[in-house]
Amino acid sequence: MTEFTPVSALVGGFLLGAAALSLLFFNGRVAGISGIFGGFLGFKRGDTLWRSVFIAGLLVGGAMLTAFYPDALQFEMKHSASTVMLAGLLVGIGSRMGSGCTSGHGICGIGRVSPRSLVAVATFMATGIAAAVAVDLIFGGRI
């Protein structure tokens, strides 16, 4: 159970959009985290440095949150290690097979009104809702 937080949601959303725009404006790139991280894991010559710099930025941003806004990283993962592992595998395989995740399709793709991204977002929203509802109703919120 979490509270509806409209103001921080909008402000945070604006920051996400602004960060994605800055990557586009300065570097001409789409801010798709699965694409950036997946490409990083490919270790292709000449294509790894900018990806690692972006990921380092994410981690430094995380450290800043810990320092100045610790509530953002205050959470508890109630699920078993095997569930977390399965979820991670699905997210990893699925985001690469589907050419994107919540950032690449969800923010940049919807923002560009890309038909592929609209289909991707509708699809992962539907299966995401199904999974979250199933976890709650069938497994009592904890599997």
Partner 1 sequence: MALVMIFISGVVFALGLGVSGMTQPEKVTSFLNIAGNWDPSLALVMLGATVTYLIGHILILRRPAPALAKTFTLPSRRDIDRPLVIGSALFGVGWGLVGFCPGPALVALVTGYESVIIFVLAMGVGMYAFEVLDLRFAKEPDGGAGLIVKS
- Residue environment code for 4-31, b if the CB has 16+ CB neighbours within 10 A, otherwise e: eeeeeeeeeeeebeebbeebeeeeebbb
Helix (H, G, I), strand (E, B) or coil at 3: coil
Q: Look at residue 68 and give its three-state secondary structure.
A: helix
Vertex 12: Cα angle to 123 and 98 (nearest 5): 25
The minimum distance between CB 74 and partner 1, in angstroms, equals 7
Give which of 131, 29, 33, 26 is closest to 86, Cα–Cα. 131
Least Å distance between CB 60 and partner 1? 5
Nearest approach in angstroms of CB 6 to partner 1 is 6
Return d(Cα 128, Cα 57) in angstroms, integer: 28
Residue 18 · residue 111 · CB < 8 Å: no
